[in-house]
């Protein structure tokens, strides 16, 4: 017997679960298929476990800072296995929470793959399922380059969370946010990190001042950055470790490491097992599912959200897309996702938070003479007593004629927390005069955003 649903979701990540639960709240009969851990990349192999590891990496500097406040710190020792075990235990706890949320919402969970038999029918495990509306929310996965001999000896960012032993030496390929976050946190945990990038600078696409600050901070914490370089070969080195050949303008270099991570080279939509050839769904050149502004594919009743569409690959974006979709079609609350001024953070040390246009983007759109830039670079109060030369940078990009704040950017402690609030003002179209009219909260780092001249 074929089971029929009002709404069936393929993929139990954050976006898919959010959409399924919201639709069920409106009374829809909802099913969802997920063969892996609930919560998707963010909960299991991404932002949550990574952020916990970032917290762990902050303690060496905090131990040092404590001395300046009169504390006597004894011998410290880091236990990699204990940290990894605790991190993975937390992700398992979150899996259970997602399970309970689905149960409480009355969503039927299938622990199998789902693939299309035709545009109305899915094969979920051995069972056929039909649905009035179908959502594809299967996310993406790390991509490893295929033109590097010995690539099978590399690991992805997913694998870093499951390294049972402390990697004393790590090579990371790529200067994007994933590579930078892992390079930064591992270096601060005492790992000898070499980061290999094809260009001169990390974090392409972010504001140049922020890129400079993060790159400088990472190098100061011990990350060895190899610019204009690429890995050309990886060889197994005995029982443990690998030998990596790196090519740059000076020729070939050989280095040894306990592991080499190539996940920083990008991610790819998970479309292979969906049976899309049985539908009229169209993909772009990057194998992402093409959708319109209402998240609809080329098939009217089939939708897609999140990383599988390769629009804005952020968990909160997928969650919002999923909820808007459910609100529109099951709650009679039509809406369209707004992709402008989405706040973003990179959890390196120093931390990066940003919303709106970079200085370069603003000048390209409005012209160089139309843009005013305000900056403040300072040492936060916390670091004065221990005399640690850690800096924070804050920056506002303003349209000269309208006085509207087009972008707000920050590197330093709590950048993500501060930018989250600033993003509200930027989203509302606040002006520099309105920032200036806001009374400063003193003493705080955040007050610099309303006192810049």
Q: Is residue 423 part of a domain?
A: yes
Residue 381 sits at the vertex; the CA angle it makes with 375 and 387, to the nearest 5 degrees, is 105
User: Tens of pLDDT along 24-36?
Assistant: 999 999 999 999 9
pLDDT category at 83 given cuts 50, 70, 90 is very high
Q: Do β-strands 267-269 and 344-346 pair in parallel, antiparallel, or remain unpaired?
A: unpaired
For position 264, what pLDDT does the model report?
A: 57
Integer angstrom CA distances of residue 356 from 110, 338, 340, 428? 40, 13, 7, 12
Average pLDDT over every residue of 22-48 = 94
Domain boundary among 330, 354, 372: 330
Q: Which residues pair with 224 in a beta bridge?
A: 194
**11 and 137 share one domain:** yes
Q: Is residue 335 part of a domain?
A: no
For position 224, what pLDDT does the model report?
A: 97
**44 and 87 share one domain:** yes
Domain boundary among 222, 239, 265: 265
**99 and 38 share one domain:** yes
For position 267, what pLDDT does the model report?
A: 82
**13 and 121 share one domain:** yes
Q: Is 120 helix (H, G, I), strand (E, B) or coil?
A: coil
Q: Is residue 337 part of a domain?
A: no
**52 and 118 share one domain:** yes
**273 and 257 share one domain:** no
Q: How far is CA 192 from the centre of its chain?
A: 24
Average pLDDT over every residue of 381-396 = 97
pLDDT category at 274 given cuts 50, 70, 90 is very high
| pLDDT averaged over every residue in the chain | 95
Half-sphere exposure of 27 (CA within 13 A, CB side): 2
For position 45, what pLDDT does the model report?
A: 85
Q: Is residue 338 part of a domain?
A: no
**119 and 239 share one domain:** no
Average pLDDT over every residue of 67-82 = 96
Domain span at residue 371? 344-450
User: Tens of pLDDT along 314-349?
Assistant: 999 999 999 999 999 999 999 999 999 999 999 999
- Find where tokens 């001042």 sit: 209
Domain boundary among 211, 234, 265: 265
Active site residues: 442
> Does residue 263 have a pLDDT over 60?
no
**71 and 28 share one domain:** yes
Average pLDDT over every residue of 66-94 = 96
**24 and 103 share one domain:** yes
User: Which residues in 336-371 are b (16+ Cβ under 10 Å) and which e?
Assistant: ebeeebbbbbbbbbbbbbbbbbbbebbbeebeeeeb
Quote the percentage of the chain above a pLDDT of 70.
99
Q: pTM for this one?
A: 0.95
Q: Do β-strands 371-378 and 192-196 pair in parallel, antiparallel, or remain unpaired?
A: unpaired
Q: Is residue 250 part of a domain?
A: yes
By the 8 A CB rule, do 5 and 29 touch? yes
pLDDT category at 254 given cuts 50, 70, 90 is very high
Residue 118 sits at the vertex; the CA angle it makes with 113 and 119, to the nearest 5 degrees, is 100
**272 and 257 share one domain:** no
Mark out the alpha helices in 208-297 (DSSP H runs): 208-220
Looking at the 3D structure of the chain, how many domains does it have?
Answer: 3
**135 and 237 share one domain:** no
For position 146, what pLDDT does the model report?
A: 79
Residue 187, exposed/middle/buried by CB under 10 A (0-12, 13-18, 19+)? buried
User: Tens of pLDDT along 346-376?
Assistant: 999 999 999 999 999 999 999 999 999 999 9
Average pLDDT over every residue of 410-420 = 98
> Does residue 266 have a pLDDT over 90?
no
The enclosing domain of 174 has a CATH number of: 3.50.50.60
Average pLDDT over every residue of 290-317 = 97
> Does residue 156 have a pLDDT over 70?
yes
Average pLDDT over every residue of 167-174 = 94
Q: Is residue 57 part of a domain?
A: yes
Q: Is residue 24 part of a domain?
A: yes
Supply φ then ψ for residue 398, to 5 degrees. Answer: -125, 140
For position 329, what pLDDT does the model report?
A: 97
**11 and 121 share one domain:** yes
Q: Is residue 80 part of a domain?
A: yes
The enclosing domain of 374 has a CATH number of: 3.30.390.30
User: Tens of pLDDT along 235-252?
Assistant: 998 777 899 999 999 999
For position 114, what pLDDT does the model report?
A: 98
> Does residue 411 have a pLDDT over 80?
yes
DSSP classification of residue 88: H
For position 238, what pLDDT does the model report?
A: 75
């Amino acid at each position: 017997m074929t089971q029929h649903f009002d709404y069936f979701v393929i993929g139990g990540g954050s976006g898919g679960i959010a959409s399924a639960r919201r639709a069920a709240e409106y009374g829809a009969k909802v099913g969802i298929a997920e063969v892996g851990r609930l919560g998707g990349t963010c909960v299991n192999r991404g932002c949550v476990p990574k952020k916990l590891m970032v917290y762990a990496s902050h303690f060496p500097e905090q131990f040092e800072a404590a001395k300046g406040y009169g504390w006597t710190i004894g011998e410290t020792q880091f236990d990699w296995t204990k940290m990894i075990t605790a991190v993975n235990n937390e992700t398992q706890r979150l899996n259970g929470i997602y399970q309970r949320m689905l149960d409480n919402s009355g969503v039927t969970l299938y622990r199998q793959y789902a693939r299309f038999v035709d545009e109305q029918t899915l094969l979920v495990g051995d069972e056929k399922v039909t649905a009035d509306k179908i959502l594809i929310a299967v996310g993406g996965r790390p991509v490893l380059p295929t033109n590097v001999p010995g690539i099978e000896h590399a690991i992805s960012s997913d694998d870093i969370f499951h390294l049972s032993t402390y990697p004393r030496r790590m090579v990371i390929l790529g200067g994007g946010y994933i590579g930078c976050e892992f390079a930064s946190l591992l270096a601060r945990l005492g790992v000898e990190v070499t980061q290999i990038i094809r260009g001169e600078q990390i974090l392409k696409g972010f504001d140049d001042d922020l890129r400079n600050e993060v790159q400088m901070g990472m190098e100061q914490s011990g990350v060895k950055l190899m610019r204009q370089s690429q890995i050309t070969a990886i060889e197994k080195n005995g029982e443990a470790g690998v030998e990596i050949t790196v090519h740059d303008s000076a020729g070939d270099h050989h280095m040894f490491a306990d592991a080499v991570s190539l996940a920083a080279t990008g991610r790819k939509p998970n479309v292979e097992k969906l049976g899309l050839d049985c539908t009229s769904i169209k993909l772009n050149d990057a194998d992402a599912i093409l959708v319109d502004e209402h998240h609809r594919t080329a098939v009217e009743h089939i939708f897609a959200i999140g990383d599988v569409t390769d629009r804005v690959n952020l968990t909160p974006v997928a969650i919002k897309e999923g909820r808007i979709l459910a609100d529109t079609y099951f709650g009679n609350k039509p809406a369209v996702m707004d992709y402008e001024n989405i706040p973003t953070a990179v959890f390196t040390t120093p931390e990066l938070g940003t919303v709106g246009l970079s200085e370069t983007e603003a000048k390209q759109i409005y012209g160089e003479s139309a843009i005013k830039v305000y900056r403040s670079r300072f040492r936060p109060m916390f670091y004065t007593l221990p005399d640690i030369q850690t800096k924070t940078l804050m920056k506002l990009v303003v349209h000269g004629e309208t006085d509207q704040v087009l972008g707000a950017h920050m590197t330093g402690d709590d950048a993500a927390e501060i930018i989250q609030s600033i993003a509200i003002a930027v989203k509302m179209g606040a002006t520099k005069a309105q920032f200036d009219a806001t009374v400063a909260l003193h003493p705080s780092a955040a007050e610099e955003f309303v006192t810049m001249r």
